């Protein structure tokens, strides 16, 4: 199966840093999808359903380890051949639990592969202009090659303006109009692609799932996951249906899918009887629900 979406990280002088960064982001996203134990002892994770109706788990941690090993080797190549260490800046605004979880994962992945990384943590009271000014500082920092602004941002901030302020060559998340346009246009390659959809496609391909010709249903149409993932799966020759809050007969549509990706931001929405035997499920969701038995007072579910 041709792997158009993520290519092997063989760096070049001009494109190496963002290429390595994109794949490291995918590794972080894959790692977030590792199995999670539920209170009843069952495991919730990305899974492949067999015809015997027994879930075969896709080992996200194993895949993440493999990818990070590849990226670490690429970083060593950059350091040896160009005296260059990729620099990543992660900007987070506010205290959303799901965003904090993703940022911790990305920070850990960056450290493991040898990136120079910095965190810019800002209060949710920050103004849009102040946030754009922080992005501009990072644009002008020669030690920073890639900038990631964690989404979603507080409602009083225009995400489009903030993302547009990131230099295209430092757009680690691939959310700029230029990169998204390149992702969707045939025959073009973006400088970077969104890490969570990249993680999904890596999980599918590295697990031997046949994407070409498959019927894929994506639950959610966000700019972060749903829409870029639809473009990626189509580039791998899947037939893609994107569902959302206005979709009718959602259960019936899911039951027809060979591949289901749940990314609607609603906890535990997809039920087991929605899935046909043999389908593959990627659970993107990281939702916090109250749980007094946990140290932090909540637990994460899909």
**Known catalytic residues?**
106, 150, 173
Closest CA to 87 of 133, 166, 11, 147: 147
How far apart are alpha carbons 124 and 93 in whole angstroms?
5
| 287 backbone dihedrals φ, ψ, rounded to 5° | -120, 135
List the structure tokens of 298.
């909540």
User: Please, what is the end-to-end C-alpha distance for the chain in angstroms?
Assistant: 29
How far apart are alpha carbons 86 and 149 in whole angstroms?
17
* Residues 6 or more apart whose Cβ sits within 8 Å of residue 242: 218, 220, 221, 226, 227, 230
List the structure tokens of 278.
């043999």
How far apart are alpha carbons 181 and 6 in whole angstroms?
17
Residue 56 has a CB neighbour count (10 Å cut-off) of: 12
> Does the CA dihedral 186-152-201-274 come out positive or negative?
negative
List the structure tokens of 284.
């993107």
Asked if 18 and 168 touch (Cβ cutoff 8 Å), the reply is: no
């Amino acid at each position: 199966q041709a792997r158009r979406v993520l290519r092997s990280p063989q760096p070049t002088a001009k494109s190496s840093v963002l290429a390595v960064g994109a794949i490291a982001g995918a590794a972080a996203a894959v790692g977030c999808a590792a199995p999670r134990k539920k209170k009843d002892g069952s495991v919730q994770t990305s899974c492949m359903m067999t015809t015997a109706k027994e879930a075969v788990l896709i080992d996200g941690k194993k895949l993440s380890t493999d990818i990070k090993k590849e990226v670490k080797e690429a970083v060593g190549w950059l350091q040896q051949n160009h005296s260059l260490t990729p620099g990543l800046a992660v900007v987070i605004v506010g205290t959303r639990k799901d965003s904090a979880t993703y940022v911790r994962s990305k920070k850990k992945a960056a450290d493991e592969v040898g990136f120079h990384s910095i965190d810019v943590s800002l209060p949710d009271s920050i103004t849009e202009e102040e946030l754009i000014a922080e992005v501009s500082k990072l644009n002008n920092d020669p030690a920073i090659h890639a900038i990631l602004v964690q989404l979603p941002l507080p409602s009083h901030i225009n995400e489009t303006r903030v993302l547009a302020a990131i230099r295209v060559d430092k757009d680690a998340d691939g959310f700029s109009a230029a990169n998204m346009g390149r992702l969707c246009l045939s025959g073009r390659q973006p400088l970077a692609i969104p890490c969570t959809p990249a993680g999904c496609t890596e999980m599918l391909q590295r697990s031997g799932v046949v994407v070409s010709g498959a019927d894929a249903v994506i639950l959610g149409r966000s700019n972060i996951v749903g829409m870029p993932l639809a473009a990626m799966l189509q580039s791998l020759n899947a037939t893609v249906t994107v569902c959302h809050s206005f979709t009718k007969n959602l259960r019936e549509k899911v039951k027809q899918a060979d591949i289901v990706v749940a990314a609607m931001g609603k906890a535990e929405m997809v039920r087991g009887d929605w899935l046909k035997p043999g389908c593959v499920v990627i659970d993107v969701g990281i939702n916090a629900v109250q749980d007094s038995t946990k140290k932090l007072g909540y637990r994460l579910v899909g």
